[in-house]
């Protein structure tokens, strides 16, 4: 089901589908009924808790997991325990068993290809934060062992910087930051991952000058020609027309996918911020990159206005979306999105530079009674600053 439009032409928002591939390890979007969305929370962190998965591993399968190790009872168990084993028990070599040899990981610094690169980066990070802890805060999942399990893992990372990091010598400071990692796994292997760290918050907590660090690394990337590519206008508008306004369908009942696509498009691409009052609860709690915490719809509207003012030609598209839950109990949804725009306005990133910015992020939403109650949004803010300050 897709939302209706008041304007002619297709809405300027991606459908979230990916081209089919003969390769079984090509991630496939699971929206539009093409996959399986859990209709309850029987397999969830809420049902058992991360500590329970670690202390009392299940002895029996509660979910079909073809090709996965027998020790895992369900996909939540798999994500919680491999994360703990790799990062906190420091069994870095377990990555060879749980990441495909040609796995792709997208983070603030671009595409990391192959499990050897993942092993190297993990060793580097644990060396910088030897007492690192990753606390599972939420895991949203969908899919199955045929099309792949899609998981959106929200964690709180904590540790002391007593080793060298890519940002400089050890500072001894304690850091606490959010992270959301979206993975796709089959037969005990993660083969695609999008991980959004609060890198800007990390740099600030380490005591480094955030703007100068972003400028230095951004300039190094520009000097290497990494960002030297042409670009045109963002295709937010159909020709010279106006952006579509998406309206609720005439179908009865609550359609969560339609709701999410409609609200995101109308707010970000249509610039209709009154949609916030229709889609979000008045007691909204929002947590975002760089430690942002927002309470209520008014401040949330101001956050969006600040972003649109800095990037007036911004166009956002949804790249992937899945959810778990039902109308009675509510929903947990994971939305992976991307945005392009030009830094032409004043804001938290300083005076306009005219630089084109590629932004992407992962947002988790808690939706009850047809309204978004809570939202967690992580995006590659440090990479955005690198693109802006690279000269």
* CATH assignment at residue 368: 3.10.450.50
Q: Is residue 285 part of a domain?
A: yes
Q: What is the pLDDT of residue 56?
A: 78
pLDDT in the model for residue 53? 82
Strand 371-379 relative to strand 356-368, pairing: antiparallel
Which of 185, 208, 231 is the last residue before a domain boundary? 208
- Do 283 and 380 sit in the same domain of this protein? yes
Per-residue pLDDT tens for 279-303? 999 999 999 998 899 999 999 999 9
Residues 302, 376 within the same domain: yes
Instruction: Kindly state whether residues 343 and 276 are assigned to the same domain.
Output: yes
Lowest mean pLDDT of 48-52, 120-124, 142-146, 305-309, name the range.
48-52
**Confidence band (pLDDT; 50, 70, 90) for 234?**
low
Residue 213 CB burial class (10 angstroms; 0-12, 13-18, ≥19): buried
- DSSP structure class, residue 165: B
Range of the domain at 265: 254-388
Examine the pLDDT at 248 and tell me if it is beyond 80. no
C-alpha span between 17 and 29 (Å, rounded): 5
| pLDDT given at position 34 | 44
Please indicate, yes or no, whether residues 203 and 314 belong to a single structural domain of this protein.
no
Instruction: Quote the pTM value.
Output: 0.86
Assigned domain for 181 exists: yes
| 261 and 193 in a common domain | no
**Above 70 in pLDDT, residue 337?**
yes
Mean per-residue pLDDT of the chain: 86
Give residue 14's pLDDT band: very low, low, confident or very high (50, 70, 90): very low
Q: Kindly state whether residues 197 and 62 are assigned to the same domain.
A: yes
Considering the domain architecture, whether residues 191 and 318 belong to the same structural domain is answered as no
pLDDT for the residue 226 = 53
| Boundary (domain end) residue, out of 193, 208, 223 | 208
**89: how many CB neighbours lie within 10 A of its CB?**
10
49 in any annotated domain: yes
Does the residue 144 lie in any domain? yes
Whether residue 225 lies inside any domain: the answer is no
My answer on whether 262 and 202 are in the same domain is no
- The total domain count for the chain is 2
Structure tokens at 254: 């609550």
136 to 123, 155, 189, 289, 312: CA distances (angstroms): 20, 5, 20, 17, 36
Predicted pLDDT of residue 20: 33
Q: What confidence tens digit (pLDDT) does each residue in 29-88 have?
A: 554 444 589 999 999 999 887 787 888 776 689 999 999 999 999 999 999 999 999 999
Per the model's pLDDT, the better-predicted residue between 247 and 96 turns out to be 96
Q: What is the torsion angle, in degrees rounded to the nearest 10, for the CA atoms of residue 257, residue 39, residue 374 and residue 382?
A: -70
Band the pLDDT of 152: cuts 50, 70, 90: very high
Phi/psi at 33 (5° precision): 75, 5
Span 165-172, average pLDDT: 92
21 domain residue, yes or no: no
Q: State the pLDDT confidence band at 27, using cuts at 50, 70 and 90.
A: low
Burial of 99 (0-12, 13-18, 19+ CB in 10 A): buried
Q: 152 and 87 in one domain? A: yes
With respect to residue 232, please indicate whether it lies within any of the assigned structural domains.
Answer: no
- 330 burial (CB, 10 Å; 0-12 / 13-18 / 19+) is middle
- Same domain? For 371 and 262 the reply is yes
> What is the radius of gyration, based on Cα positions, of the chain?
21
pLDDT at 19: 34
Q: Is 263 in the same domain as 175?
A: no
Residue 199 lies in a domain: yes
Out of 177, 208, 239, pick the residue that ends a domain. Answer: 208
268 with 195, same domain: the answer is no
Q: Is the pLDDT of residue 343 over 70?
A: yes
- Place 2 in a pLDDT band, splitting at 50, 70 and 90: very low
d(CA 384, CA 356): 9
């Amino acid at each position: 089901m897709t939302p209706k439009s008041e304007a002619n032409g297709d809405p300027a928002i991606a459908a979230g589908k990916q081209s089919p591939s003969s390769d079984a390890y090509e991630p496939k979007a699971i929206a539009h009924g093409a996959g399986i969305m859990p209709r309850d929370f029987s397999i969830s962190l809420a049902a058992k808790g991360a500590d329970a998965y670690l202390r009392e591993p299940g002895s029996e399968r509660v979910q079909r997991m073809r090709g996965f190790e027998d020790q895992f009872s369900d996909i939540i168990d798999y994500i919680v325990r491999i994360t703990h084993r790799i990062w906190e028990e420091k069994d870095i070599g377990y990555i060879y068993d749980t990441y495909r040899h040609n796995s792709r990981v997208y983070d603030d610094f671009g595409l990391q290809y192959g499990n050897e690169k993942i092993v190297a980066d993990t060793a580097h990070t644990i060396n910088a934060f030897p007492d690192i802890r990753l606390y599972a805060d939420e895991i949203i999942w969908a899919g199955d062992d045929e099309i792949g399990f899609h998981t959106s893992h929200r964690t709180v990372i904590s540790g002391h910087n007593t080793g060298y990091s890519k940002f400089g010598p050890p500072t001894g400071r304690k850091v606490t930051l959010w992270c959301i990692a979206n993975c796709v796994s089959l037969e005990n292997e993660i083969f695609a991952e999008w991980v959004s760290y609060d890198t800007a918050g990390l740099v600030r907590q380490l005591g480094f000058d955030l703007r100068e660090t972003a400028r230095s690394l951004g300039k190094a990337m520009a000097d290497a020609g990494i960002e030297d590519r042409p670009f045109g206008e963002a295709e937010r508008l159909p020709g010279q027309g106006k952006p579509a306004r998406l309206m609720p369908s005439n179908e009865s009942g609550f359609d969560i996918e339609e709701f999410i696509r409609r609200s995101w498009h109308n707010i970000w691409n249509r610039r209709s911020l009154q949609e916030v009052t229709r889609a979000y609860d008045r007691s909204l709690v929002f947590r975002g990159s760089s430690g942002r915490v927002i309470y209520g719809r008014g401040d949330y509207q101001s956050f969006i206005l600040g972003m649109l003012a800095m990037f007036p030609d911004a166009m956002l598209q949804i790249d992937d979306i899945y959810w778990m839950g039902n109308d009675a109990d509510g929903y947990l949804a994971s939305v992976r999105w991307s945005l392009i725009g030009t830094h032409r306005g004043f804001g938290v990133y300083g005076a306009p530079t005219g630089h084109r910015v590629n932004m992407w992020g992962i947002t988790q939403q808690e939706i009850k009674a047809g309204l978004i109650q809570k939202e967690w949004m992580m995006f590659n803010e440090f990479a955005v600053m690198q693109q802006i300050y690279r000269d």
